[in-house]
Structure 1
Amino acid sequence: MPALPRSSHLLVTVTAVATLVACRGDRESSGRATLSYYESYDPRSLDPALSTDVPTGEMVTLTYDGLTQFDADGHLLPALADRWTAGGEGGRRYVFHLRAGVKFHDGTPLTAAAVRASFLHVLDPTTKGGRPWPLYPIAGAEAYAAGHSRDVQGIEVLGDTAVVFTLAEPLAIFPKFLAMPVASVVPTPLPGSLGERPVGTGPWRLVTWQHDDYLRFVRNPGYWGGAPAAETLTVRIVPEPLTRAAEFEAGRLSVLEVPFGETARWRRERPGDLVEKPALRVVYVALNNRRGPLRDVRVRQAINRAVNVPEILATVYGRRGIPSRGAIPPALAGSDTTRPRYDYDPGAARALLAEAGYRRGIDVQLWRTAANVELSRVAQAIQAQLAEVGVRVELVERDA
C-alpha cells in the first residue's frame, strides 16, 4: 500500500474492484417501452450543486449535461461544449464553445450566461452541503465560495455561444473536472424547486419522484445526443444487494451489478447475461496521520503490513479486484502499476510497532457505514487482522 507521509490521509487496504453486470438479452429487451434501474438509497437532491454521493450524481447525470462528459471507458468527450481550446495566460485560459441548438427541458435555449450562472450557483456560499471543489481551479472561485468576493473573475461569457475560464494556475485536467455532476448546467434564472423538479438538457426528464420508493423519467425526444431508445426509465430504491438480484431474476430490473458474494454462482449459472470490465473504483481506509500513534510512519506501515488484502479480495469481493499500487485505478491515466506495494507480513508489522515504541499495541477507531454491506465486512476483517498484531480496533458507525 502506498505511504504518503506528507498527506493528511494514508491509503490502506486499497483494491481496484471489477464491475460484473448482468443485462437482459437482446430478445428480452428489444421493443421494451421502459427500462428499470435501481439505487441503493434515495438521492439527496436533484440539484447538481448538491451531488455529493453516487445516487445523486447518477440521477443528475440522467437529467443534466456538463460542458464535457466521460464515455463508458473513462475517456473525455465533448458534451454541451462541442469543442474547446486551451492556451494563453500561461496555459491558464480555456475557451469552451457551446453546441448549437441545445434546449433545456422547458424549451429555454442553452446560453453562455446559463453556464456562468450555474457555476456561480454551485460556488454560492449560501448553497449549503455541496462540494464545489471541482470549480476551485477557476481564478476567484474559492474566494467567492468562502464569501470573500462578490464575483468570480475567472468566468466570462463571449456572447451567447462561448465561455472563457481563466484558472488560478495551469491545470491540464481541468476539462475533466467539468464532466463531474456538480458542473452540470441549469437554466437561468434558476428554478426555485430545482432539487425536486429538475430542468436540464439531459436525455431523461423527471416526471415522478416517490421518495424512498422510485423515480420515473420520460425520454427527451429532442436530446442533442439522440433520444434514448426506451420511452420511460424507472429507478427504484432497493437497498439490499440480494433483493436487487432477486428482482433482476424475476424480470423486474433491466440491469444489475452482481452482488460480490454471488459472483461464483452467476458466473456458473448465467454466463451469457454477464458483462465484466475494470471499474473506476478504489476501496481504501483513510488514516488520520495528524494525531496519536498514526503520526508515526512506522505505525502506518505496520497497519499496511498487517492487513491481508488478497484474503479480503477473495472472501468479500469474490476475487473481483486486484491489490492497488496507488490511489489511481489502473484504467485511469496516471496510474503506476509498477509501484511497489505492501505485502502481508504480520511479523514485520509487530516489529515496526515495537520499533515505534508500541510493543503492547495501540487502540484506534475505524469509522464505517452500515449502509454498505461489503464495506462493513471489510471493516470487520481489518479489525480481526489488526488484532493479531496488537492493534485494537473499535468499529464506529457513521453516516455515509
Structure 2
Amino acid sequence: MDDSVSRALVPAVIAILVRRGADFATAEDAVQDALVEAVRRWPGAPPRDPKGWLVTVAWHRFLDAARSESARRRREELVDMEPGPGPVTSVDDTLRLYFLCAHPSLTPSSAVALTLRAVGGLTTRQISRAYLVPEATMAQRVSRAKRTVAEKGLEQPGDVATVLRVLYLVFNEGYSGEVDLAAEAIRLTRQLAAGVDHPEVAGLLALMLLHHARRAARTGPDGALVPLAEQDRGRWDTGLIAEGVGILQAALTRDRLGEYQAQAAVAALHADAPTAEETDWPQIVEWYDELTLLTDSPVVRLNRAVAVGEADGPRAGLAALAELDESLPRYTAVAAHLHERAGDPERAARLYAEAALRAPNLAERDHLTRQAARLNQR
C-alpha cells in the first residue's frame, strides 16, 4: 500500500471506530492490523472502496479484541471483507481525533507524539527518528498517551487553542531524519482548517506558510545558519508567501485577533520587504505590542526588544531588553546583537561567545561562535 494513501486514510478510520464506541488504544491497534491485512491482500485484489474496506476489517478486529482476552487474536476465517451496502459516512471524523490527541491530561510531548501517530499516520519508528530518541522510548510515550486517553475518555477533550499549540510544536521541530515535521505540520493544519472555521486556525496556517517560504534561504551551502537580514530573498517561495498573506488577510477581516494571526502579520511584513533595509520595523513593533497584550509572553517581549532596536535604535532596544529576565533563552544573543549595533564590539564578542555556550542546537552554536570570532578578529 502506498504510504501517502495509508497516512490519509488511517486517521479517518481510527476516528470512525472511536465514534462507534471503540476505545482509542484498541481502535488504533485494530486499524494497524487492518493495514497489515491490506498490504497482504490489496496488491492482488484492490477494493473498490479502500476506506470502507479498512473500516470493515478494523471493526472486525476490534470486535475480536472485545470478545477475547487476547486483543490481537485473529478469526480463523475473515468474512465480509468488502464494506456493506452504502458509503462510509462523509462526516470528517478526523477532526475528533485532533481534539482527542490534545487531551488536557497529556503532556505537550505526549500530545505531539500521539497526534503524529494517530492523525499524521506516522509509524513509531518514524516519529522516534524525527525526534532523535530511541524507538522504545517513543513507543512507551505513545502507549502511555493512548492509555491516558482511553482512561479519561471524551468527557474533556482539548480545545482549539490546545490543538493549535500541539501543531505549532510539531512545526517548530522542523526537519530531522526521514520525516519533514514542518511539512507534516502544514499538512495537518490544512486539514484542520478545512474542517474548523476559526480565524486562529487560519492564522496558524498562514504563519507556517510564511515561515516555511524562507526555508531554502535559512542555511548556506555549508549548512551554516543565515540570519534573516542576510538571506537571499530570491530563494524565498513567493507562492507560499502569497498564499499565506491571502489566508492571513481573510482571517484579520473577521476582527477576532489572536496570537497566531499577530505572529503571522509580523512574518508577512518581513516577507513583504524587498530588502532587509526596507523592513517596516515600526509596524512590526506595533504588532509585537498587540502580541504582548494577547499573551504577555517573555519571548514576545524579547522579540519586541529586537524590533525596537531596529525601529528606534540599539539604545532603545537595550532599554527594552533591560526590563526582561537575563535567563530567558536567546537573551544573551539579542544583547550581543544590540551591543554590536550600539558600537561596542568587545562586549558584543563576549556576549556572542557566552550565548554560543547556551545555544539549543549545533547550528545556532556555530553561528554565534562565528559572530564572536568575527568581532574578535577586528
Fold similarity call, TM over 0.5: no
Structure number with higher helix proportion: 2
Structure number with higher strand proportion: 1
Comparing both chains, which one has the higher relative contact order based on Cα–Cα distances under 8 Å and sequence gaps of 6 or more? 1
